[in-house]
Amino acid sequence: MPQHQLVESEEKMSTDEKPSRNEHEYFVKREAELMRERRERLDEERRKQERTSHYNKCPRCGIDLSEHDHKGVKIDKCDSCGGMWLDKGELEIVEELDRHTPGFMHNLIGLIRK
For the chain, give the DSSP string: --HHHHHHHHHHHHHHHHHHHHHHHHHHHHHHHHHHHHHHHHHHHHHHHHHHHHTTB-TTT-PBEEEEEETTEEEEEETTT--EEE-TTHHHHHHHHHHHSTTHHHHHHHHHH-
Domain presence at residue 21: yes
The pTM assigned to this predicted structure is 0.47
Same domain, 80 and 47: no
Number of separate domains in the chain: 2
Q: Is the pLDDT of residue 12 over 80?
A: no
Q: What is the pLDDT of residues 46-58, one digit of tens each?
A: 888 877 666 788 8
Same domain, 69 and 48: no
